[in-house]
Chain A
Amino acid sequence: MAVVKLQRPKLNFGEKIYFGALIKGFFLTMTHAVKSLRGKSVGADELASSGLGVTMQFPEQRWDEHLPEYYRGAPTLVTDEQGRERCVSCQLCEFICPPKAIKIVPSEIPSDDPWVKVEKRPLEFEIDMIRCIYCGMCEEVCPEQAIYLRKDYLITGLKRADMVHDKKKLYEIGGTRAGLVNKWNELK
């Protein structure tokens, strides 16, 4: 490796006594302070600041409408247009999930059900949101496009049990997703 010898810069008298730089520094910090108090800091508009600095103040202001399209929030289950649960409990997501947050208990679809040809559905589907790392692998691996990462980011609870999303909760957040592959549909 080549050695680069650096020449220390030759300081003139003004730079040596250090005062000019000090005054400049005071001006810089005070400009920031004044701008920040007036809500005119650089980037305040883009970041939708609260009027003090560039910070958005959370419970009153939310960044919901500023979320990008590709935002990865809580993983959820979705139903299709006919209200059928898309998940066929193949357990691929359970298998790929890096922190092992997903737990599926598969079951058979009873023979009197209109969707009997799908054969399987989850009896229980739980995602432990304390474990979930929002990586999106479950969404990626799902052959049925049944699991989606939605934009919900406020996952809170007072106890551990609150943080486990069961099937009901997952469908509640996920809702219906239209215009996907209609693998099991008669239309196909």
Chain B
Amino acid sequence: MPELIFQIAIIITKIVILTFMVVLPLVPVSVYFERRFSAVIQDRVGPNRVGIPLTLLGFKKDFHLFGLIQPIADGLKLFLKEDFTPAHVRKAFYWMAPALTVVPALITVCVVPFGSPISIFGHTEKLVIADLDIGPLFVFSVASLSVYGITLAGWSSNSKFPFIGGVRSTAQMISYEIALGLSIIPVLMYYGDLNLSTIVQQQADHGWLLLPLWGHDADHTFISKLLFWFPAAIAFLIFTISIFAETNRMPFDLPECETELVGGYHTEYSSMKFAMFFMGEYAAMVIGSALIITLFLGGWSIGFGADAWVSQLHIGDFYFGGLIHLGCFMTKLIGFILFFILVRWTVPRFRYDQLMKLGWVVFFEAALINVFLAALIVAAPQLEKTIIGVGAVLLVIVTAAVIWVAKVSEETPKVLRA
């Protein structure tokens, strides 16, 4: 029984620390970065004032802290606003929807490996809440639940524009889930494993998927890794762009396209309920970045063969290498969040038909062909030369056929009649 209580205590500690002290604070931090970075891009200053107001207590100077307290002030403001429920909404679903967007995003945190194991007094603990053997699939399945929040928000608001926003979001998320799932199949084939911790460990030992420059041995020759770089890069591209669509971020934020839909699916929401949608969007962005980093950019790995050495660092019985890895992971995560923000302020919004076409005609086919390409490259060492040749020729023919079909279907746009 004490064993069980100890286990539960460790799990709860991990949930509290990793979800509520590492990932959740990233949401306001990314909001802050969003505002500051966009301001800098547009030659403005952005929020740089809110800090510790010492002058209120009679001191001479305030600490501005570069405005880092701004998101907290914003949150407080949203918290204190009137929580207005319009009379025409369907109450139960209207109340349920915000929770349904935030909760899935936060649940997915539990399979992300934040660092290498930490060891203290001979007890080793992995820096991941649930070390599941189906990591990426778990993330997809739980993230796919968040579509309910947006759909129900749109429907239960009982008003035109939110409904259109909800419908758009549903169609968009379902479409891009296919490209998302197909695009990482090459990666999973390469690692032969669905456990995210193992995938990151392999990358730490043998080079990141997109930076395979160290850790060559007989099973992982430099040539094979270099060859796999191409399908990996294609997968990375498709996966990243699909994550943009999946999290409803610019340039695919049509569900909340202000120019067409007022506020989109959360038009009728106010106060903390609106803040929940806001949080859900940013939490999804954080998790999406974490997944991309874990699968393609080495997760917590520092790289260049330094990981094994870092893992051995210790003071007495306390092996703290995992904390350094945690820091590395967070650095990469914030870097990728900045990339998300840069994209938002650079790329204009897509039109809805362009979005659907990109998802179904381009990414779906490209991901499918990429699966075969990756399979050929992964299996090549065990195959005879003629079979490889035949496979390559077949692949080229199929690719050409797909491109031809896409081109033909594009050339003669039919006039749609109701």
Chains A and B touch (C-beta atoms under 8 A apart): yes
Residues of chain A at the chain B interface (Cβ within 8 Å): 22, 25-26, 28-30, 32-33, 35-37, 41-42, 44, 50, 52-55, 57
Of the listed stretches B36-44, B126-134, B166-174, chain A binds B36-44
A134 CB to nearest chain B CB (Å):
26
Nearest to A27 among chain B residues (CB) is B346
CA distance A57 to B42 in the complex (A): 16
Cβ–Cβ contact A29 & B44, under 8 A: no
- Given A53-B43, A54-B44; 17 other pairs, CB 8 A cutoff: A22-B346, A22-B347, A25-B346, A29-B41, A29-B342, A29-B345, A29-B346, A32-B43, A33-B40, A36-B40, A36-B44, A42-B43, A52-B45, A52-B48, A53-B39, A53-B40, A55-B45
Query: What does DSSP make chain B's interface, helix, strand, loop or mixed?
Result: loop
CB–CB A55/B41 < 8 A: no
Q: How many residues on the B side are at the interface (Cβ–Cβ under 8 A)?
A: 13
Of B44, B345, B347, the residue contacting A55 (CB under 8 A) is: B44
Which residues 318-351 of B sit at the A interface, judged by CB distance below 8 A?
Answer: 342, 345-347
Provide the bound-state CA to CA distance between A28 and B347, in Å.
11
Complex: how many Å from CA A73 to CA B45?
A: 26
Contact of A30 with B43 in the complex, beta carbons under 8 Å = no
Q: Across the interface, do B45 and A57 meet the contact criterion of CB distance under 8 Å?
A: yes
| CB-based contact B43/A36 at 8 Å | yes
Q: Is the CB–CB distance between A25 and B347 below 8 Å? A: yes
Partner of A52, one of B37, B40, B41, B345: B40
Q: Which of B37, B44, B342, B345 contacts A53 (CB 8 A)?
A: B44
Contact B45 A50 (CB under 8 A): yes
Contacting residues of chain B (209-223) with chain A, CB-CB under 8 angstroms: none
Q: Are B45's CB and A37's CB within 8 A?
A: no
**Are A33 and B41 also in contact (CB < 8 A) when A25-B347, A26-B342, A26-B346 are?**
yes
Q: Which residues of B contact A42 (CB under 8 A)?
A: 43
**Chain A, Cβ-Cβ closest to B37:** A33
Closest B residue, CB atoms, query A51? B45
Specify which chain B residues have a CB less than 8 angstroms from the CB of A54 in the assembled complex. Answer: 43-44
Q: State the Cβ distance, B15 to closest chain A Cβ, in Å.
A: 37
**Which residue of A has the minimal Cβ distance to B410?**
A16
- Tell me if A30 and B45 are in contact (CB < 8 A): no
Q: How far is the CA of A32 from the CA of B164 in the complex (A)?
A: 36
Pairs across A and B, CB under 8 Å, 20 listed: A22-B346, A26-B342, A26-B346, A28-B346, A29-B342, A32-B41, A32-B42, A32-B43, A33-B37, A36-B40, A36-B41, A36-B44, A42-B43, A44-B43, A52-B45, A52-B48, A53-B39, A53-B42, A55-B43, A57-B45
Minimum CB–CB distance for A155 against chain B, Å? 22
Nearest Cβ on chain B to A147's Cβ, whole angstroms: 37
Q: Which residues of A contact B40 (CB under 8 A)?
A: 32-33, 36-37, 52-53
Mark each residue of chain B from 17 to 47: 1 if its CB lies under 8 Å from any CB of chain A, else 0.
0000000000000000000010111111100
**In the docked arrangement, what's the CA distance between A26 and B338, Å?**
12
Chain A residues with CB below 8 A from B345, complex form:
29
Cα separation A92 to B191 with both chains bound (whole Å): 87
Q: What's the nearest-Cβ distance from chain B to residue A79, in Å? A: 38
Task: Report chain B residues within 8 Å CB of A35.
Answer: 43
State the Cβ distance, B240 to closest chain A Cβ, in Å.
Answer: 12
Q: How far is the CB of A137 from chain B (nearest CB, A)?
A: 35
Q: Looking across the interface, which residue of chain B has its beta carbon closest to that of A54?
A: B43
List residues of chain B with CB within 8 A of the CB of A29.
41, 342, 345-346
User: What are the residues of chain A within 8 A of B45 when measuring CB–CB?
Assistant: 50, 52-53, 55, 57
Q: Which residues does chain B contribute within 8 Å of A52, judged by CB atoms?
A: 40, 45, 48
Most buried by A among B42, B43, B345: B43
Q: Which residue of B lies closest to A22 (CB)?
A: B347
User: In the complex, which residues of chain A have a beta carbon less than 8 angstroms from the beta carbon of B37?
Assistant: 33
A36, A50, A57: residue with the most chain B Cβ atoms closer than 10 Å: A36
Q: How distant is the Cα of A35 from the Cα of B42 in the complex, in angstroms?
A: 10
Give A163 to B221 CA distance when docked, in angstroms.
Answer: 79
A12 to B270, CA, bound (A): 47
